[in-house]
Each structure stands twice: as C-alpha cells, then as structure tokens.
A = this chain, B = another copy of it.
Amino acid sequence: MQAYCLTDMTWPEVEQALKTVRIAIIPLGAHEQHGPHMVESCDAVLAEEMAKKLAGLLYPEALVTPTINMGVSPHHLHFPGTISLEPSTLIAVLRDMIRSLKQHGIDKVLVLNSHGGNQATLGVAADTLTRELDVQFLYAKTTASAKDVMNRTIQSTLYGHSCDREVSEALYLAPHLVREEKLEKGDIQEGKWRKLRPGNPLQGFYYYEEMTRNGCIGDATRASREIGKEIVDTALERLAAAVKEVL
C-alpha cells in the first residue's frame, strides 16, 4: 500500500506530495519496559506501523512524520531500561514539529499515540498548541476506537500493557517485538494502585511495580495475530473514516 512517509522521501518528493497532502500523522510511542516478553521500543514501533497503514488509507492526503520514539513513562522508571520524557519536553517536541510542518504548508496534524501515559499531555497540547500555532491538532489512541472488538476478543479483565491485546497487536504489526517463548501472565500485586485506576473515585500516580512484579498485566499467553489483526484493522478503518470527516 502506497503511503507518504517523510523519513523515506527526498525533498523534491515531499514537494510533489505536498500538492495533495492535507494532514500530517505524527506517530508517538514510548520507550519503556514491556515485561519479559516484549522489547522496550514496542509502543514506538506499533505507533509507527499503524501510522503508515493509516497514511496508506488516506493516501494521497496524509503524510507520516518521523516517530517520537520516547514518551511520558514515569510509572515504569523503576524497571531497567525505561526512558521517560517530562510532559513539558514532549510538548516542546510537538511544538517544534508542528511549527516546521506549518512552514511547509500543513496546518492539520494527528498525533497517533500508542501509549496511555501520553494522553494527559496530549490533552494539554491540544488546548495550548491549537491556539498558539493556529492549527488543527488532533490526537488518537492507536486502537482505542476498537474497544468493542477488544471487549469481545480479550478475556482478561485488567489489561492494557504488554497484555493479550498489546501482544496481539504486535504479532500482527511487528512480530519481532515479541519474545514468543517468554510469554507470561501479569504477576499482579495487591496495593493502593487498585484505588487509583480509571473508574475509581480517585486518580493519582503509582509506580508500575506496585501493580505487577513482571511488568505486564492481562494474560499475554492468550494473544494471537488474529485478534491483533481484527483490533488493528477495525481501528484503522474507523480512524481513516474519522479523519476524512474532519479534514
């Protein structure tokens, strides 16, 4: 499938593409532990792969920028290898990218984000960068729009990080991220974190190791490429349709 990806283009090719491009897709991931069965670049790679597919569905009106391959991951910092950006740093990166894109005539961007920990920062970015830079700033969690498919295909009740869902998505999009011989269920701990999960009266910060000893939740042993394909393709279809509606 043909798709415009800035990283693979020369400037005369970009110049040509800009005649039809109306929106830039910024893949946003994270660099953080994903348990014993996924490598730490997982979120960055999944966001990039999804972005390319989405740009294909929107061809020739969308263009993928370089991936922001680190994100806001303080919760995971106690696991070896995690690298976390401050929210203000991530906003600074987005500001500079969007300013550059505007210089090239693009004033609509979609941040395609694969990491929950970035969502609050993106909410703040939407409120500030939209007005500061006079652009349309959209953001989306990569597969959140396929929640109904997840509810049908994922059996774990607590999932969302290196779990049945995420491993499934990776098996479809980028199987090299997965150590299939190491797949494990989340090793859940009891603690205050339960009182701070979405859906509770209170919210607040907790470290991931308070919740899970091996860094995963859900049950990755139940993951499959088929589940991943259904989730991802459904989400892509809905995202593409949604983008077309607001362009």
Contacts of A95 in B (CB 8 A): 89
A97 within 8 A of B: yes
User: Among the listed B11, B100, B242, which residue makes an inter-chain contact with A195, where contact means beta carbons less than 8 Å apart?
Assistant: B242
User: Among the listed B14, B35, B83, B200, which residue makes an inter-chain contact with A81, where contact means beta carbons less than 8 Å apart?
Assistant: B14
| A110, B215: Cα distance in complex, Å | 28
Contacts of A205 in B (CB 8 A): 126-127, 130-131, 137
* Contact of B89 with A179 in the complex, beta carbons under 8 Å: no
- Scan residues 225-241 of chain A and give those whose CB is less than 8 A from a CB of chain B: 235, 238-239, 241
A31–chain B nearest beta-carbon distance, Å: 5
| A44, B8: Cα distance in complex, Å | 12
* Contact of B77 with A103 in the complex, beta carbons under 8 Å: yes
* Contact of B124 with A39 in the complex, beta carbons under 8 Å: no
* Contact of B8 with A245 in the complex, beta carbons under 8 Å: no
A220 within 8 A of B: no
| A10, B216: Cα distance in complex, Å | 12
A1 within 8 A of B: no
* Contact of A86 with B96 in the complex, beta carbons under 8 Å: yes
A69 within 8 A of B: yes
A149–chain B nearest beta-carbon distance, Å: 13
Binding site for B on A (CB under 8 A): 6-12, 14-15, 18, 31, 33-41, 44, 65-67, 69-70, 72, 74, 77-89, 92-93, 95-97, 100-101, 103-104, 110, 117, 119-124, 126-128, 130-131, 136-140, 144-145, 179, 182, 192, 195-196, 200-205, 215, 235, 238-239, 241-243, 245-246
